[in-house]
Chains A and B, each alone.
Chain A
Amino acid sequence: MRSQFDKQLALLNKEMIGMGALCEEIISKVLKVLADGDGQLLNGIVTLGAEIDQKERTIETLCLKLLLQQQPVAGDLRQISAALKMITDMERIGDQAEDIAEIIPFVVNRPAKADSLLHEMAEASINMVTESVDAFVGHNVELAKKVIFDDDIVDNYFTQIKQELIAEIIKNPEDGECSIDLLMIAKYFERIGDHATNIAEWVEFSVTGVHKEG
C-alpha cells in the first residue's frame, strides 16, 4: 500500500518537474523571440502553452486521486496540496508567456533603453522561475527564500521601465502604442515573477509546513 503510494508520489514529483521544465522552456523561447524577433518560434510557444495546460490537468487528476485513495497526512498531504496550488501558478506563467508572445510582433521598433531594461527584466524573471523549480526539486528552503526576495528586483525593473516609457511617450507621442505594449510585456514579466514567488512560497510550505511566514 505504502510502496504504491510512494510510487505515485514519485510520479507526481516527476510530473511537477516536467511542468517546471515546460515553463522554463516557454519563457526562454519568449525571450528568444523578444531578442531575435524570430517569428517562427511563436508557433512553438502556442504548442508549449497547450502542453502546459494538458500537464496541469494530468497533475490535478493525479493529486485528487492521491487525496481520495490514499488519504495522506502530514508531509505527504502538504506536498500534494502544495502541488495543487503550484500547478495553478505554473499554468499562469505559461499563459502569460503566451500573452507576451502575442504582443511581441507589435513592438518591433522599440526604444533601445527600454528594450535593454526589458531584456534584463525578462532574464531576472526567468531566473526566478528556474530557481523556484530548482527549490522544488531539491526541497531547498534557502533557495525558495531567495526567490521570494528576488521578486523585489523584478518589481524594481518594472518601475524603471515604466518611468522610461513615460519619458518616451512624452518625447514621441505618436509612438505611444508601442510604449503601452512594452509596458504590458513588462507587466506580464512582473506577473511571472509574482507567480514564481508563489511557487517558492508553496515549496517553503511543503517543506516546513509554514506558509508566508512573517
Chain B
Amino acid sequence: MTKKIFNSVITVAGIVLLASAVIIMGCLYNYFENVREDGLKDELALSAAAVEDSGISYLEKVRSGSCRITWIASDGTVLYDTVTGTKSKENHSGRAEVQSALETGEGQSNRYSGTLLEKTIYYAKRMEDGTVLRISVSSATAGRLALGMLPPVMAAFVIALAMSGMLARRLSRRIVKPLNNLDLEHPLENDTYEEISPLLNRISRQNNKIKEQFKELKQRETEFTQVTACMKEGLVLMDKHGIILSINPAANKIFGLTKDSTGQDFLIVYRNHEIAQCIKNAMETGHSETQQPGYGREYQFDASRIESAGGVMGAVLLVFDITEKVMAERNRREFTANVSHELKTPLQGITGSAELIENGMVKQEDLPRFTGHIRREAARLVALVEDIIKLSQLDEKTGYVKEETCLYEIAEEVVENLGDIARKRNIDIKISGERVVICGVRKLLYEIIYNLCDNAIKYNIDGGKVKVNIEKTKGNAVLTVSDTGIGIPQEHTSRVFERFYRVDKSHSKASGGTGLGLSIVKHAAAYHDGTIDLQSVAGKGTKVQVIFPLCSQNFHKNY
C-alpha cells in the first residue's frame, strides 16, 4: 500500500517537475533570445553609425567587450576585426549573413559550435560605402541552459522523492488504519469509508453463508455420530493412508480401545495382518471381507473403498459380531450329521437282519431272536422320530395349552412308570417335597421329569440312588433330580443340552436313549420360562435343578 501510494506520488511529482521545467525554460529562453537579438541589432546600428562617422579608429577603441565586430569590405576581405585587431586576408564573402547583407542591406545567421553547447549569433549590415559591418556574440544554447538547470531540478526531485516517501507512508497509514480496525465479525456495524461498504456487504453475506453451512455441517455430524453410536456393528472410517477419521463406540469395544483413536493409523490401533490385508485389498479392488476371531468372539470384517471424483478417498470398515451365527451354523451342521447317523444305525440293523431272513440263512430256532432285533430297532427308530417331532413342535412353540398342573403328581406318575427299569438295576428312586402347582403343559412337564429321571437311572451305577425333590421357594417351584451316578465331566456340562450331544462320543447304544432327552428338557423348560442348573462331579453324581416361576395371580383371568 505504502509502496503503491509512494509510486503514484513520485510519478505525479516527477511529471509535474519535468513539465514545469521544460515550459519555464522554453518561455525564458525565447524571451532572453529576443532581448539579446534586439540589443545586438541596436549595437550594430550604433556601431555602424560610429564607423561611418569615425572610421577604423572607432573600432580600435572598442577592442575589448563581449562582442566581436568585424568590418568587411564589399569583396569579402576583412578590414578590421576587434578580436584579432588586424586586417586579415580571410575572405568572408561566403558567410550567409555577409552575403545577405551585401544583397539586402541586412543579414543574420546562427552557427553552432561543435559541441552544440554554444552558438554564435551574427548580424551584418551594409553601410553606405558598400562595406559590411558584422557583429557577433556567442551565447549559450537551450541545451546548455537545460544542462545548467539540471542540478537544481535534481535537487528539487530529491526533495520531492523524500517528501513523497514520507507522505506516502503517512497517507497509507492513515488510510489503512480504519481498515485494520474493521470488525469483520459484524461488518455492517463499522463506521468507515463509504467506498468499501460494498465490500463489507459482501463480507457480511459471506459470513452468514459460512455460519449457515457450519451449522448444517455440525448438525450432519451430530446426526452421523448419533447414528453410528447407536449401531451394534463396529464402523471405522479411514482415509487412503489408513488414518482413522471416525470410529464408533461399538468398534472401540470390539477392538478393546479405551481412548479416542481418531487421527491414528489403523494398523497401530489394531494390529492384525489379515485385517490390514483386507483393508489393503479393499483400497485396490473396491471390496474385501474376512473373518477373524477376537477376544473370544468371532467377527466378520467388511472393508469397502470410498471413491469420490474418480479418486480413492479412503475406506470404510464394518465389523459384525457373527459369534452366534457361527455357533448356530456349527450346531446345525452337527445336528444334521447326527440325525442322519442316528436314523441310519437302526435301519442298517433292520436291513441286515431282514436280508439274512430273506436269504434263508437264519435257522428256524434263531428266527425269534432276529425278528426281536428288527422290532427293537424299529421301536428305537420310532422313539427317535417321536423325539424329533417333539423337539420340532417345541421349536414351533404351538399346539400346547397351559393349565394348572401339580408337579408332584407328575413326578409320582414318572416314578411309577420307571419303577420296573429301576428295580431291574436295583436303583432306589424316591420322591420328596411338597405338592406344588404351577401353570404349565402337563405333557411337557411329564417329558421333563421323565427324561431327567430316565437319565438319572440310565447313567447310574447298579444299586445307586435317585432322588426327586419338589419344593416351593419364594415365587418359584424348584424341581431337583439328583443321582449317585457316573456324573458328567466338567468340560461337557455346557454342551449336554445340545441335540445328540453325548459325553461318550462313540454313540454307544449300550445305554439306549436317543440323545435328545436333555435337549427336550431344555426346550420344554424354556417353554415354561424355567431355568436349568446342572451340577455334576464325574464319578460322584449329577444334580439337575429346574426352576419354574409359580402361577401368576391373574392366571385365571387370562385363560
Contact = CB atoms under 8 A, between A and B. Distances in A.
A17 B268 contact: yes
B272 interface: yes
A195 to B, nearest CB: 18
Nearest to B268: A137
Contacts of B242: 14
Determine the interface band of chain A, counting residues with CB < 8 A from chain B.
10 to 19
Contacts of A20: 271
A117 interface: no
A14 B273 contact: no
A48 B277 CA distance: 12
Contacts of A22: 273
B267 A24 contact: no
A212 to B, nearest CB: 26
Contacts, number: 31
A173 to B, nearest CB: 33
Which of A20, A21, A133 has the most chain B CB atoms closer than 10 A to its own CB? A21
Nearest to A15: B267
Interface string B275-289: 010000000000000
Main secondary structure of the interface of B (DSSP, over half): helix
Contacts of B265: 10, 13-14, 17
B274 interface: yes
A14 B271 CA distance: 10
A76 interface: no
B271 A133 contact: yes
Interface in B209-268: 242, 265, 267-268
B268 A21 contact: no
Interface in A19-34: 20-22, 24-25
Contacts of A13: 265, 268
A213 B411 CA distance: 75
A18 interface: yes
A30 to B, nearest CB: 14
Contacts of B273: 18, 21-22, 24-25, 48
A24 B268 CA distance: 14
A25 B267 contact: no
Contact of B272 (A14, A21, A137): A21
A133 B271 CA distance: 9
Interface string B78-118: 00000000000000000000000000000000000000000
Interface in A39-63: 48
A36 to B, nearest CB: 13
A196 B242 CA distance: 27
Contacts of B271: 17, 20-21, 24, 133, 137
A17 B274 contact: no
A22 B271 CA distance: 9
A18 B274 contact: no
Interface in A127-146: 133, 137
A25 B271 CA distance: 10
Contacts of A25: 272-274
B117 to A, nearest CB: 63
Contacts of B276: 18, 21
Nearest to A10: B265
A137 B242 CA distance: 16
A70 to B, nearest CB: 20
B299 to A, nearest CB: 16
Interface of B: 242, 265, 267-268, 271-274, 276
7 contacts: A13-B268, A17-B267, A18-B267, A21-B273, A25-B272, A25-B274, A133-B271
